[in-house]
């Protein structure tokens, strides 16, 4: 059974179209990611799927219920971890979880049992009775994550789960997300603007840009669509007409020159590399440096959207929020 089914979803704010006819579906137990820059429509989509916003057009079913006609049924079955840290600084970790449990009408003894179990899972048990204001950014995010799981939701929504965290903490959060998902079997829908996050965590990735889905596939599948590997070359002497020479070689699909670096897209890098070098040496072209790499999702994003994935300037409110999240993370 599908956990999320979305058909032709549109959301307009006045003249601005945030989500423009998005369709996809997510299977039960799948970890599905929305990858795109800020302002691509990721959070708007999450807000519609968690019943915070009403869609302008289209249909969305989550955990078997239509978000527009049965919002209460949907709310009972989904968990939301917003991108802002929503745990309360003035309460302890345990009190935060018990508050969450109260909102989902879980009996106290049952709630306590679950809270301890989840705290164990993310290594926070010994901090359960400490106030959250004493937690680090990573600890707060972990608490926020398990707060979203207190009522054992069928679908968990994570909006930018590692925004503003340092590299080591991010890797740790990924571990916890994998573990929580393994233990609970929950379907996870996450949004991110980090390539490595999508690549590391998600079973399938939807690339979204300006409210439109450009591609949906596994990370590997998306990379395979680019076709092959990339060979980078630097020459001892520039200015030779190497481009035409290389383009003539069978097996090389494309040649880009970027600041003295030649980037060749080839089908099988391991086989093509010796061949390319042989051709160059035969023509007396001296090679200074050579390297080969598999394409990353960065290249994939560039390929599908025609632009690099980078921070876009948002509204003032957006910037403020982001800064506030960052500040709280560092605290």
Partner 1 sequence: MREILGEIGVLTMREIRKWLRSPFLMFFTLVQPVIWMGLFGKAFNITGFIRIPDEMLQNLPPYVTSQLAEIFNNMMTRLFGTADIDYFSYIAVGMLSITILFSSMSSGMGIAWDRRLGFLNKLLAAPIWRGSIIVSKVLSGVLRAVMQAALLLLVALAFGARFHVLFPLGPLAAFGALFFLALGLTSLFIALGLRLKSWESQAAVMNLLNLPLMFASNALYPIALMPSWLQAVAQANPISYAVDAVRQSLIYGAAADPSKLLLDLGAVAVFAISFTAIGVLIADKGLRGG
Among residues 3, 38, 45, 50, which is the contact residue for partner 1, using CB under 8 A? 50
Among residues 183, 324, 327, 330, which is the contact residue for partner 1, using CB under 8 A? 324
5 DSSP β-pair partners: 25, 61
State yes or no: residue 51 binds partner 1 (CB under 8 A): yes
291-320 residues in contact with partner 1 (CB under 8 A) are: none
The helix/strand/coil state of 230 is strand
Shortest approach of partner 1 to residue 151 CB, angstroms?
Answer: 9
State yes or no: residue 75 binds partner 1 (CB under 8 A): yes
State yes or no: residue 156 binds partner 1 (CB under 8 A): no
In this structure, what is the dihedral angle of CA atoms 215, 318, 325, 56, given to the nearest 10 degrees? -50
CA dist 66 and 175 (Å) reads: 32
State yes or no: residue 286 binds partner 1 (CB under 8 A): no
CA dist 304 and 213 (Å) reads: 10
The H or E element that residue 319 is part of is helix 316-330
160-199 residues in contact with partner 1 (CB under 8 A) are: none
State yes or no: residue 244 binds partner 1 (CB under 8 A): no
With contacts defined by CB under 8 A, name the span among 99-107, 116-124, 165-173, 277-285 that binds partner 1: 99-107
Sheet containing 287-293: which strands, arranged edge to edge? 252-258, 261-266, 229-235, 287-293
With contacts defined by CB under 8 A, name the span among 15-23, 32-40, 86-94, 246-254 that binds partner 1: 86-94
State yes or no: residue 95 binds partner 1 (CB under 8 A): yes
Q: By rule CB under 8 A, what count of residues binds partner 1?
A: 30
The helix/strand/coil state of 124 is coil
**Contact in structure between 67 and 74 (CB atoms under 8 Å):** yes
118-147 residues in contact with partner 1 (CB under 8 A) are: 131
With contacts defined by CB under 8 A, name the span among 87-95, 205-213, 249-257, 292-300 that binds partner 1: 87-95
With contacts defined by CB under 8 A, name the span among 25-33, 75-83, 192-200, 228-236 that binds partner 1: 75-83
CA dist 325 and 327 (Å) reads: 5
Residue 57 vs 103, nearer CB to partner 1: 103
Query: Which residue blocks in the chain are alpha helix, DSSP H?
Result: 42-49, 71-77, 93-103, 108-121, 137-147, 167-184, 195-201, 219-226, 242-247, 269-282, 297-305, 316-330
Instruction: For residue 160, give the nearest of 175, 173, 178, 147 by alpha carbon.
Output: 173
CA dist 228 and 295 (Å) reads: 8
- Give the DSSP letter of residue 47: H
Among residues 70, 76, 112, 263, which is the contact residue for partner 1, using CB under 8 A? 76
State yes or no: residue 98 binds partner 1 (CB under 8 A): yes
Residues found near partner 1 in the complex (CB under 8 A): 13, 47, 50-54, 72, 75-76, 78, 80, 82-86, 88, 90-91, 95, 98-99, 102-105, 131, 321, 324
């Amino acid at each position: 059974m599908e956990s999320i089914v979305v058909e032709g979803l549109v959301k307009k704010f006045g003249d601005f179209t945030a989500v423009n006819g998005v369709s996809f579906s997510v299977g039960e137990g799948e970890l599905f990611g929305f990858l795109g820059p800020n302002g691509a429509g990721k959070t708007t989509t999450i807000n519609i799927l968690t019943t915070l916003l009403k869609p302008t057009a289209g249909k969305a079913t989550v955990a078997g219920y239509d978000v527009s006609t049965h919002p209460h049924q949907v709310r009972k079955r989904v968990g939301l971890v917003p991108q802002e840290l929503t745990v309360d600084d003035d309460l302890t970790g345990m009190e935060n979880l018990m508050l969450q449990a109260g909102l989902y009408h879980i009996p106290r003894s049952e709630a306590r049992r679950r809270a301890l179990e989840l705290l164990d899972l993310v290594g926070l048990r010994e901090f359960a009775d400490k106030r959250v204001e004493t937690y680090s950014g990573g600890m707060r995010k972990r608490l926020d994550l398990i707060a979203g799981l207190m009522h054992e939701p069928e679908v968990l929504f994570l909006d930018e789960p590692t925004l503003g965290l340092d590299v080591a903490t991010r890797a740790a959060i990924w571990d916890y997300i994998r573990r929580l998902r393994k233990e609970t079997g929950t379907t996870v829908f996450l949004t991110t603007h980090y390539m490595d996050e999508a690549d590391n965590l998600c079973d399938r990735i939807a690339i979204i840009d300006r409210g439109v889905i450009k591609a949906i596939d596994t990370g590997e599948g998306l990379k395979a669509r680019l076709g092959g590997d990339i060979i980078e070359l630097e020459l001892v002497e520039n200015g030779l007409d190497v481009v035409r020479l290389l383009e003539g070689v069978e097996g090389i699909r494309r040649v880009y020159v970027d600041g003295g670096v030649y980037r060749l897209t080839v089908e099988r890098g391991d086989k093509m590399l010796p061949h390319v070098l042989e051709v160059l040496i035969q023509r007396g072209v001296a090679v200074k440096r050579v390297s080969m790499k598999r394409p990353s999702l960065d290249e994939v994003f560039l390929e599908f959207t025609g632009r690099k994935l980078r921070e876009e300037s948002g509204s003032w409110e957006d910037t403020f929020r982001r800064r506030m999240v960052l500040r709280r993370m560092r605290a």
